Amino acid sequence: MSTSETTRADESRLTGENVTESIRDLPPSAKLVAKVLEYNDTLTQSQIAEESLLPDRTVRYALNRLDDEGLVDSRFSFSDARKRLYSLDLE
């Protein structure tokens, strides 16, 4: 299996062709953040940065790109209103 086929197989695991098409043209950082959110239901921005080993600024950019595509859902944290919780919105 070639690298591009492996990438497509990983992307299609993200539940369906429509999501795959949306994610395919995104930068690698957004793909990584989506994958981290797929494996961890809900995380804060700092938790995503810790899990993905990406800088905070890159995570912020990736979340904005995913939000532009309608693939991420965010809400305020009840335990700390200064933080937002992010999860994938694959519907």
For residue 37, give both structure tokens. 């959110």
Taken in order of first residue, the domains within the chain and their CATH numbers are 3-88 (1.10.10.10)
Question: What pLDDT is recorded for position 21?
Answer: 75
Question: What pLDDT is recorded for position 46?
Answer: 95
Which amino acid does the sequence have at 66? L
Enclosing H/E stretch for 55 = none
pTM for this model (two decimals): 0.76
Question: What pLDDT is recorded for position 12?
Answer: 44
Rounded Cα gap, residues 79 and 91, in angstroms: 27
Question: What pLDDT is recorded for position 1?
Answer: 45
User: How is 33-89 classified by DSSP, letter by letter?
Assistant: HHHHHHHSSSEEHHHHHHHHT--HHHHHHHHHHHHHTT-EEEEE-SS-TTSEEEEE-
Rounded average pLDDT per 10-residue block, the chain, 91 residues: 47 57 88 94 95 97 94 92 90 69
Question: What pLDDT is recorded for position 19?
Answer: 67
Question: What pLDDT is recorded for position 16?
Answer: 58
Strand order in the sheet with 72-76: 43-44, 84-88, 72-76
In angstroms and rounded to an integer, the radius of gyration of the C-alpha atoms of the chain is 13
Q: Which residue has the tokens 């993905």?
A: 52
Question: What pLDDT is recorded for position 18?
Answer: 64
